[in-house]
Chains A and B, each alone.
Chain A
């Protein structure tokens, strides 16, 4: 969907480095989400945000930090990357606060940590 973009699409970094994944949506959706996708685990929620300046932990938040100073942006930061954080990361947004609306996903960031 053109309305939600992630960058970079691919990233290789080393353990211990800080890396930030960007997510930008043009729909003014209230809710935004970060997921990681690994074989055998499906999509696991890392963090989500109900609005600007409101964030909450998901299923696997350890090692990650998020912020949402503006409605359209929801960056995800790995403060000190570890190999276990090698994954495909998806950002998503949804327009409804009661989660009865679909989630719209970005194209993903494929992150490799050496």
Chain B
């Protein structure tokens, strides 16, 4: 079945440092979505990428979809304490109706 892995599992950074999480799929994806879950909260949709090589930005967050549509990354520039949480990618393989969530990367930001 479809597998979606994320690395790293945990990341501690000093406030102001950059952060990147990587998402890798065992199959080619039709699209990929990114979610953020604050501690004690529920996942909240951030963005969706559809096209090969697509790059989207949301303020300090940059999302990228790989050329082969099997991997993606989320980069945060100059982290802030409000960035704390777990970031999940979620992908759907072509012709497959179910979305598979990655294992998540838990980000801790040290003030």
* A residues adjacent to B (C-beta < 8 A): 35, 40-45, 48, 50, 56, 58-59, 90, 92, 99-100, 102-108
Contacts and interface: CB of A to CB of B under 8 A. Distances in A.
Contacts of B6: 42
Contacts of B104: 42-43
B100 interface: yes
B68 interface: no
Interface stretch (B11-19, B40-48, B73-81): B40-48
Interface string B50-68: 1000000000000000000
B48 A43 contact: no
Among B30, B31, B100, max chain A CB count under 10 A is at: B100
Contacts of A48: 97-98
B33 interface: yes
Contacts of A35: 101
A105 B101 CA distance: 13
B103 A103 contact: no
Contacts of B43: 43, 90, 92, 103, 105
B42 A108 contact: yes
Most buried by A among B30, B44, B98, B99: B99
Given A58-B98, A99-B97, A102-B33, A42 B88 contact: yes
Given A35-B101, A42-B103, A50-B97, A99 B92 contact: yes
B42 A43 contact: no
B85 interface: no
Contacts of B103: 40-42
A58 B2 CA distance: 12
Contacts of A90: 42-43
B102 A106 contact: no
Interface string B85-111: 000101010000111111110000000
A56 B92 CA distance: 16
Given A99-B97, A100-B50, A42 B102 contact: yes
B62 to A, nearest CB: 19
B80 to A, nearest CB: 23
